């Protein structure tokens, strides 16, 4: 009986991961790392709709992305923003936290998805922003 329960749990988690994950990505037309981040998302099962924008600042302001969390591109999934080079795994964590407006990797840290430079990685955090404007760390990635 225990084996059946474990098998049912595995099948349930597999079907959940098979669900298509749709994300809109807004980016400047001249940004190369943005397209590299899009490739990271697609490699991890996301269906990406790519939007080339002429005014990223206005878009970020409309979505509630504070300037201190800003980066070069902005994704939107299920009404939540995904700012900068957020790893795909952390986008999945974000989807499980509906109290957050979004998540961000501020700046453009080397080694984050889309910013790979060999084996070099800067330390960085994925920061969640709640509806009261409070920040909390979702994940931390150490330098190597």
Band of pLDDT at residue 11, cut at 50, 70 and 90: very low
Structure tokens at 46: 């996301």
Task: Tell me the percentage of the chain whose pLDDT exceeds 70.
Answer: 88
pLDDT of residue 6: 35
- Nearest CA to 136 out of 125, 144, 122, 120 is that of 125
Q: What is the reported pTM?
A: 0.85
Note the pLDDT of residue 48. 98
Would you say residue 76 lies in a domain?
yes
- Rounded distance between C-alpha atoms, residue 27 and residue 53, angstroms: 6
Burial of 32 (0-12, 13-18, 19+ CB in 10 A): exposed
Whether the Cβ atoms of residue 104 and residue 71 lie closer than 8 Å to each other: yes
The model's confidence at residue 18, banded by pLDDT at 50, 70 and 90, is: low
pLDDT of residue 31: 84
Residue 8 lies in a domain: no
Give the model's confidence band at 20: pLDDT under 50 very low, under 70 low, under 90 confident, else very high.
confident
Q: Is residue 126 part of a domain?
A: yes
> What sign for the dihedral angle of Cα 31, 33, 35, 41?
negative
The answer to whether position 41 is within a domain reads yes
The whole domain housing 126 covers 22-141
Q: Is residue 75 part of a domain?
A: yes
Mean pLDDT of 28-46: 93
- Residue 26's region, left for phi above 0, alpha for psi from -120 to 50, else beta, is beta
| Domain total of the chain | 1
Mean pLDDT along residues 113-131: 95
pLDDT at 8 over 90: no
Number of H helices, E strands in the chain: 4, 7
Instruction: Kindly tell me if the per-residue pLDDT of 13 is higher than 60.
Output: no
* pLDDT score, position 39: 96
Evaluate if residue 9 carries a pLDDT over 80.
no
Please check whether residue 15 lies inside any domain of the structure. no
In a domain, 112, yes or no: yes
Q: For residue 6, is it within any domain?
A: no
Q: Is the pLDDT of residue 3 over 50?
A: no
Q: Which domain CATH number covers 86?
A: 3.40.30.10
């Amino acid at each position: 009986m225990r084996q059946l329960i474990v098998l049912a749990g595995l099948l349930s988690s597999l079907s959940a991961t098979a669900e298509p994950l749709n994300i809109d990505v807004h980016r400047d037309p001249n940004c190369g790392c943005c397209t590299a981040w899009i490739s990271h998302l697609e490699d991890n099962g996301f269906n990406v709709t790519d939007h080339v924008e002429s005014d990223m600042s206005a878009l970020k302001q409309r979505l509630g992305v504070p300037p201190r969390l800003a980066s070069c591109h902005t994704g939107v999934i299920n009404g939540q923003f995904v700012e900068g080079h957020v790893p795909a795994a952390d986008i999945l964590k974000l989807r499980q936290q509906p109290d957050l407006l979004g998540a961000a990797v501020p700046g453009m840290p080397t080694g984050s998805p889309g910013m790979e430079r060999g084996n070099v990685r800067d330390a960085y955090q994925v920061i969640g922003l709640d509806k009261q404007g409070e920040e909390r760390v979702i994940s931390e990635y150490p330098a190597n």
